[in-house]
Copies of this chain bind each other. A is one copy, B any other.
Amino acid sequence: MSVEAHRRFSKAAARPSRRAIGVGVVGLGTVGASTVRVLLEHQREIDRRLGCKLELKAVCSRRVERLDLSWLHRRIRNVKITPDWRDVVRHPEVDIVVELVGNLESAHAIASAALQSGKHVVTANKQLVAEYGLELVEQSQHAGTGLGIEACVAGGTPVLHAIREGLAGEHFTSVLGILNGTTNYILTEMEERGCTFAEALAEAQQRGYAEPDPTADVEGHDARYKIAILAMLCFGAAVPVAEVAAEGIRAIDQVDFAYAHRLNHTIRLIAAAERAAGGRLRVSVRPMMIPCAAQLASVRGATNGVLLVGNKGGNTMITGRGAGGEPTAVAVLSDVIEIARDVLSGAAGATPLGYTAWHAAKLAPLGQQVAAFYLRLVVCDRPGILARVSGILARHRINIDSVLQEPAQSKAALPFVLTLEPSRQEHVAAAIREIARLKFLAQPPLLMPFFEQS
């Protein structure tokens, strides 16, 4: 059949029972405004994908009176502009509510109200999904409405769809990710330009990659929400996000990159979830030593990367832009399009996040994990230090693999590094607690596991 004939045919075959699907956007910050702009800009292509018009019917911003929306008025008429999100949820022509407000409580109220009133919901709020994911799934299934969350993890990369659909036949054993662009930008700046954490943070703030209060990023809280969502979709299990151990990157020093390079490694903040013994999940966010040849090491700057490990398909790695208005808008719109397809075929809300039945995940204690470790100490130089430290490690039955020392800058704060053979983390932690009490320590010890690619 010719393309011509096909085009005529498929237009007829796909003729929808409805002329348009209405979209309402709540929140006109960076992501909200980008979503509206990209929707308008890609309108023709989206219509060709759907065989139906996707029409913006309402937008909401609390600051609506202070916003210049002339660009919006120039592009479309008949769009309701309101400071009250209830106007969007109640709008009779809005089928899909796109929730992009940022604040957790508001996002929760909007998403719940929309689902309960039979509207489909797309959200980019990772905290909302990490904390209230199952509740949203339940509301979505109950109302038979769709729920889109692609933008919550790794911005524009299609990783959640990959887990839910493209790799639905896989049995995942672990998922690892560089999920926070701010910290990855800081770490790669420290690595490539040799600057301090404070300098790299200041630059990230100047470039808009880091918030004025960077706590959520640099302490690993942002990545914790994201790994909870990834684990939820990979393992069909609700992860108690508050119980996930999160360690940030504030303690990483330039000298750690010097030692990492001597070991042919680099340092990345890794969010990880894996199956552990007894049906438990081990979930963590912490800086790790990554071999330079590993794919995770090649994720640089504000980029995100996710490594999905399956027991049949092996390693699948997805990298892309993890944040920013336009990449996030692409993820939001992709969810909107998928839900619109389901609306047209009458199938929305069937298995919103890929499972029909969920487990409650029990977390495995990190302490039981066996790994090789990097231990960096900064000491006031004097005789007998190595003897004391190695004595403590020996008492805890931990073998030292190597001792490294870069030329010293100062006798008062002399860094040196021990690499430890694979040991149970709780044994190493016990030893470190003793070492931390030694008087000659000038800084708290820094401990990082080595990542081993499966």
Which A residues are within 8 Å of any B CB, using their own CB?
A: 1-4, 6-7, 9-11, 13-14, 34, 38-39, 41-42, 45-46, 48-51, 134-135, 137-138, 141-142, 150, 155-162, 165-171, 236, 238, 295, 298, 310, 312-321, 326-327, 329-334, 336-338, 341-342, 344-347, 350-351, 354-360
Contact = CB atoms under 8 A, between A and B. Distances in A.
Contact of A166 (B10, B39, B161, B329): B161
Contacts of A295: 298, 319
A141 B16 CA distance: 13
Contacts of A318: 162, 316-318
Contact of A11 (B315, B331, B356, B359): B356
A170 B334 contact: yes
B351 A50 contact: yes
A3 B166 contact: no
Nearest to A354: B49
Q: At the interface, is chain A mostly helix, strand, loop or mixed?
A: helix
A314 B154 CA distance: 13
B49 A236 contact: yes
Contact of A350 (B14, B137, B150, B331): B14
B320 A355 contact: no
Given A4-B360, A6-B134, A150-B166, 7 more contacts: A14-B141, A167-B334, A168-B337, A298-B298, A313-B320, A316-B321, A345-B345
Contact of A51 (B50, B155, B337, B357): B357
A312 B338 contact: no
Contact of A326 (B41, B313, B355, B357): B313
> Which of A313, A329, A331 is the most central at the interface, judged by chain B CB atoms within 10 Å of its CB?
A313
B326 A320 contact: no
9 cross-chain pairs, A with B, having the tightest CB-CB distances, nearest first: A158-B166, A169-B333, A51-B356, A347-B347, A161-B166, A345-B347, A156-B313, A3-B360, A316-B320
A336 B298 contact: no
A332 to B, nearest CB: 7
Given A51-B357, A168-B337, A346-B346, A314 B329 contact: no
Contact of A170 (B6, B50, B330): B330
Contacts of A4: 360
Q: Which of A3, A13, A168, A329 gathers the greatest number of chain B CB atoms within 10 Å? A: A168
Given A3-B134, A351-B51, A359-B3, A168 B312 contact: no
Contacts of A341: 350-351
A327 to B, nearest CB: 4
Contacts of A6: 134, 137-138, 358
Contacts of A317: 317-320
Contacts of A166: 150, 157-162, 166, 331, 334
B168 A49 contact: yes
B357 A7 contact: yes
Contacts of A360: 2-4
Given A10-B141, A168-B337, A357-B48, A327 B313 contact: yes
A202 to B, nearest CB: 25
A316 B14 contact: no
A158, A326, A355 interface centre (most CB from chain B within 10 Å)? A158
Contacts of A51: 351, 356-357
Contact of A337 (B11, B41, B160, B169): B169
A169 B142 CA distance: 27
